[in-house]
Amino acid sequence: MTKWLLIFAALLVALLVVSFGLGGRKEGALEVIGSTSIEPFAEMLAQEYEKAYPGRYVNVQGGGSTAGIQAAINGIADIGMCSRALKADETGFRDFIIARDGLAIVIHPSNPVSNLTRAQIGKVFAGNITNWRGLGGEDRPIHVISREEGSGTREAFMKLVMGKVRVSRKALTQESNGAVKELVRNDPGAIGYMSLGLAHGLKLVAVDGVAPSTEAALSGKYPLVRPFLFVTRGEPSERAKAFIDYVLSPPAQKLLEQEGLVRAK
| Shortest spacing between CB 62 and other proteins, in angstroms | 8
Instruction: Give the count of alpha carbons within 13 A of 171, CB side only.
Output: 26
Judged by beta carbon, residue 100 or residue 108, the one nearer other proteins is: 108
| Shortest spacing between CB 67 and other proteins, in angstroms | 5
| Shortest spacing between CB 194 and other proteins, in angstroms | 16
| Shortest spacing between CB 125 and other proteins, in angstroms | 13
| Shortest spacing between CB 153 and other proteins, in angstroms | 11
Judged by beta carbon, residue 66 or residue 111, the one nearer other proteins is: 66
Judged by beta carbon, residue 70 or residue 117, the one nearer other proteins is: 70
Judged by beta carbon, residue 37 or residue 214, the one nearer other proteins is: 37
Judged by beta carbon, residue 63 or residue 102, the one nearer other proteins is: 63
| Shortest spacing between CB 220 and other proteins, in angstroms | 29
* Secondary structure (H, E, C), the chain: CHHHHHHHHHHHHHHHHHHHHHHHHCCCCEEEEECCCCHHHHHHHHHHHHHHCCCCCEEEECCCHHHHHHHHHHCCCCEEEECCCCCCCCCCEEEEEEEEEEEEEEECCCCCCCEECHHHHHHHHHCCCCEHHHHCCCCCECEEEEECCCCHHHHHHHHHHHCCCCCCCCCEEECCHHHHHHHHHHCCCEEEEEEHHHCCCCEECEECCECCCHHHHHHCCCCCEEEEEEEEECCCCHHHHHHHHHHHCHHHHHHHHHCCCEECC
**Residue numbers of the site for other proteins (CB under 8 A)?**
63-67, 70, 141, 143, 148-151, 166, 169-175, 179, 182-183, 186-187, 189-190
Judged by beta carbon, residue 149 or residue 215, the one nearer other proteins is: 149
